[in-house]
Amino acid sequence: MAPGARLEGVLDIALDNATPVLEFTGSALDLVPVPGLSLVAKGLSVLLAGVKASWAASHPLLDECLPPPQDTRANDAARRAFLDEVKLLDATLMQMVVKTKSAVDDVDGDEHSKKALVDGIARSDALQLRVQTLLSTIMELRECTKDLKGGPGALGFCKGFMYSSRNKATLSDMKERLASAIQIFKGQMSIEDILSGVIQTLKEAEGKNVLDSIPRADANFRCVDELKSGFLAGTREELFEELALWSTSDDTLKRVYFLSGGAGLGKSSIAHQLCTRLATSSDLALGASFFFVRGRGDLESTRLFFSSVAHQLALSQPALRPYIIDAARKHLQRGGRQQMKHAFKELLQQPFEQLRQQPFAGAIIPQKPVIIVIDALDECKERELVPDLLNFVFELVRTTPWVQVFVTSRPEPHILSVFTSSIATALMYHQALEDTLKQWGNDVGQFLKETISKMPPYDAFIHDNPSFLEHLINRAAGVFIFAHIAVRFLDTYRDHPNPREQFELLLSSAGAGLSPLDNVYLQILKSAFPPEDLHASSSRSSDLLSFLTIIALQRYGGRTPEVMALLLGLPKTDVVWMTDRLRSALLIDREGSVVPLHATFFEFLLDQERCINPLYHINRSKGHARLASACIAAFTTANVAAYLTAKTDTPQARYVYYARSEWDNHLNEAEFNDELKQQLMHLMGAQMPIYMRVGPKNWQEYGTTAHIEQWLKGSKDAAEISLEFIKSVVYSWLWWTKILSVESLNLRTDSGVASPNLNADDIPEAMEFLRLEDSALDLTEWSSDMARYQAVHEDHVKQVRQAGLEEVWFDRTLDGS
């Protein structure tokens, strides 16, 4: 076969998206789809055709009378040399195809990963530049073929004979230019290097995507509120000197530092400052940090603790990163927010073990201590899981010599029981802040002096009356939270004409036996809402108790003033006013939610022995009853219509979402009263279509029935009411599921559409989805109940139409998520 014919066929196969070649090698991918590469193949074919067309083949008549001259032989040699370069280019391109296929085959992952690699190769700037340069040369060489003289027959032979010298020069020049182009195409960086670079880039991108998929809480030290992060330079220096010795000590056993202390002694500020120093240290490394916060959802739970720590370690420790990514890839296939024990074993224990088993582990593991900081462990609501969490941490420290852990907590029994175990004491150094109050007590005094001396008009007052400041320092008794709250109180009333009066209020004793901090809290409340004003206005007193109830008992973080106003049924301006009056004890977090400055404030509100004035004390069970009632009242046709059309981060959406997700949790802890029971019965009746429209595709009722039964405990109709709730929920879920999924049932436009047909055969599906499989549902009464539930839903349809809201309520694209 002539070289030109072979090359044309091969290049069409190998270079024009390479499909036949890849099918021949067993790959189903279109490899090397680099822009311009198919044009290279086609251009090369045209180039070969041009050279072939000028080939002055021998002619039998002329061969007899004209022996081949020297120029003709040289011309043929130049032509063969040019074709050799074309063959070399052919081999180079085919080599690129084979190596690309091999690189793709060697990549771990599914077809999507392999397709991503192929796309990455196609987008390679280095490869595209080489292809474009090669294509440009081939296009120029195509023009050069026009200068070649010759062709078939006697005339062509004569032309080739006459111009053989000129053809030789042209072909030699084309050969040199093609050889140069091939060298440029190969380049100083090999194809293997290019492929390796692309693969590495894609692996890094895929690894980042895996890391981003790890469920985690915003719990690292950069995410904490202002109180936990507040720290006065120059304080606690003795403690930080001790921490420096601990972290760099040759004692490889005591690698857990436990800092305990009562409320308000500054444990979180110390932990935050330690993280800040570690983040900029050249001798130590901050591996990860997790700051627990009571009442803040994921920040008060163990569920995301180890996955959050693993995510941070993957970012801070390059040696661990690939092992955590590999582990996370497998872990996430089994679910997102998995139990703590699975997250620890798969995302931390196994990656650490894999790193230790590497042949050259000693050369790649961190050469300086890596410290994990855990703050406010006592604020974790899952008390029964805290011992397991600590034991997992101890296991990690015990098996990893270069990992150290710093933990802060109140000295609560369920935590101390773990730290006093034989396993813990062998690993742990314990420092109790109560033991340092005399030694380091001047720190609080320094904070008060430096802060108040910069606050007019108090700066001038304490200059003339230093005894007031000394009394305040003595009252603080080394407790930082007292000092913070006192400063905020003074700042709240900075415009008061008499600074002496504010100091006297801070130093007054509200009741015998109260701690200084409780005295301050009570004084803050009295100053913001004077008792005489509350006695004079029962509505203001009621509004204040409602406001304080949300502050003390709201679940999973705070609520914004707008959401609080909707829950309380108050004007937003009233909520903002009360928030502002209590800004000494409250703060607005980064999400705009109102939260206590410190956990001690809502603990104070809920403790009758500490909050001795009933105008401000929140009864826990009565408060939960108040919030359960407010949540159930949220399920109205207008509210849910607004929820369905609102963006997820709007006050209306947050209001209905909170009511839907938390009403039964509040009910579970509420006191029993007939009024709330009547609300519950109404919810199971006329409100059920409204309640279930808030996300029929997303909500499950697992646990709700248990909460209802717990609340009704002792009531003779408890079982009957629980069963009625289950049946009404099941019917409503089926009703809404069919209404929002069957095209023929379009209640938005057709007022004559009847309710969907439901029967007992549909119940198991609903029970499974709603996670009510364990409930004892009597199917024998289903037919009679269905008529009653159907009437309720048909009446709801009428109400929606009367309100003109059918476009919203029956829009299947608005699923309540």
- Reported as a single tens digit per residue, the pLDDT across 322-345 is 999 999 999 988 888 888 999 999
- In 3-state terms, what secondary structure has residue 816? coil
The pLDDT confidence band at residue 396, using thresholds 50, 70 and 90, is very high
- Residue 153, pLDDT score: 58
Degrees, nearest 5: CA angle 777-781-784: 135
Query: Count of CB atoms within 10 A of residue 124's CB?
Result: 18
Give the confidence band of 347 by pLDDT, cuts at 50, 70, 90: very high
Check whether 256 has a pLDDT greater than 50.
yes
Average pLDDT over every residue of 492-511: 81
User: How is residue 647 written in tokens?
Assistant: 């963006």
Measure the CA–CA gap between 491 and 454, rounded to whole angstroms.
11
Q: Give the torsion sign (CA, 304, 310, 316, 322).
A: negative
774 assigned to some structural domain: yes
Q: Tens digits of per-residue pLDDT, 580-589?
A: 899 888 888 7
415 and 268 share a domain?
A: yes
**What mean pLDDT is predicted for residues 747-758?**
63
What pLDDT score does 117 carry?
Answer: 73
Q: Is the pLDDT of residue 710 over 70?
A: yes
Residue 576, token pair as written in the block: 């903002």
- 476 occurs within a structural domain: no
Same domain, 370 and 409: yes
Tokens of 498: 């008499």
pLDDT at 61: 46
Read off the pLDDT of each residue in 179-189 and give the average, rounded to a whole number. Answer: 79
- 267 and 416 belong to one structural domain: yes
Q: Is residue 694 part of a domain?
A: yes
- Higher-confidence residue: 302 or 108? 302
pLDDT value of position 10: 36
Answer yes or no: do 278 and 139 share one domain: no
pLDDT at 96 over 50: yes
CA neighbor of 544 nearest in space, from 587, 605, 601, 609? 605
Highest mean pLDDT among 368-372, 438-442, 534-538: 534-538
- Does 277 share its domain with 135? no
Burial pattern 618-631, b for ≥16 Cβ within 10 A else e, equals bebeebbbbbbbbb
Q: Do 296 and 152 share a structural domain?
A: no
Q: Indicate whether 767 and 795 sit together in one domain.
A: yes
Same domain (yes/no): 147, 244: no
- How far is Cα 563 from Cα 559, in angstroms, rounded to an integer? 6
Which of 422, 440, 458 terminates a domain? The answer is 440
Identify whether the C-beta of residue 627 lies closer than 8 Å to the C-beta of residue 552: no
Instruction: For residue 782, name the pLDDT band (cuts at 50, 70, 90).
Output: low
| Same domain, yes or no: 190 and 234 | no
Average pLDDT of 749-761?
64
pLDDT tens for each residue of 416-438: 889 988 888 889 999 988 887 76
Does residue 7 register a pLDDT over 50? no
Percentage of the chain modeled with pLDDT above 90:
34
Point out the least confidently predicted range of 112-126, 218-232, 364-378.
112-126
Q: What percent of the chain has pLDDT over 70?
A: 82
Q: Please state, as a whole number, how many other Cβ atoms lie within 10 Å of the Cβ of residue 201.
A: 14
Lowest mean pLDDT among 63-67, 417-421, 771-775: 63-67
User: Distance between CA atoms of 534 and 178, rounded to whole angstroms?
Assistant: 95
DSSP state, residue 559: B
Peptide bond into 457 cis (omega under 30): yes
Q: How many domains are there within the chain? A: 3
Of residues 344 and 134, the one with the higher pLDDT is 344
Mean pLDDT, range 591-608, rounded to an integer: 88
Spatial separation of the C-alpha atoms in residues 66 and 56, rounded to whole Å: 14
Apex 476 CA angle, 473 and 477, nearest 5: 95
Looking at residue 25, what is its pLDDT?
Answer: 29
Judge whether residue 75 has pLDDT over 80.
no
* Residue 772 one-letter amino acid: L
- Shortest CA distance to 594 belongs to which of 566, 625, 557? 557
Least confident span in 11-25, 66-80, 119-133, 560-574? 11-25
Rounded Cα distance, 176 and 376, in Å: 75
Above 70 in pLDDT, residue 498? yes
Please state the rounded mean pLDDT for residues 536-540. 95
Could you tell me the pLDDT band of residue 564, with boundaries at 50, 70 and 90?
Answer: very high
In terms of Cβ atoms closer than 10 Å to its own Cβ (0-12, 13-18, 19+), residue 524 is buried
Highest-scoring range by mean pLDDT, 394-403, 420-429, 468-477: 394-403
What is the secondary structure of 382-440 as a DSSP string? -GGGHHHHHHHHHHHHHH-TTEEEEEEE---HHHHHHHTSHHHHHHEEEEEGGGGHHHH
Residues 137 and 109 in one domain: yes
What three-state secondary structure class fits 547? helix
Q: Which of 415, 440, 465 is the last residue of a domain?
A: 440
Query: Has residue 36 been placed in a domain?
Result: yes
* More confidently predicted of 747 and 260: 260
Q: Is residue 342 part of a domain?
A: yes
Q: CA triplet 486, 545, 523: central angle to 5 degrees?
A: 25
pLDDT recorded at residue 817:
53
**Predicted pLDDT of residue 69:** 54
Between 500 and 187, the more confident residue is 500
| Mean local confidence (pLDDT), 297-313 | 93
Q: 195 is in which domain, residue-wise?
A: 3-210
Any idea what the Cα angle at residue 57 is, between residues 51 and 61, rounded to 5°?
Answer: 155
Q: In the predicted model, what is the mean pLDDT of the chain?
A: 82
Q: Which of 210, 231, 254 is the last residue of a domain?
A: 210
Structural domain contains residue 573: no
Residue 3 near residue 83, CB atoms below 8 Å: yes
Same domain, 184 and 287: no
**Assigned domain for 594 exists:** no
Residue 445 placed within a domain: no
54 and 182: one domain?
A: yes
Say if strands 256-260 and 403-409 run parallel, antiparallel, or are unpaired: parallel
Tell me the CATH number at 237: 3.40.50.300
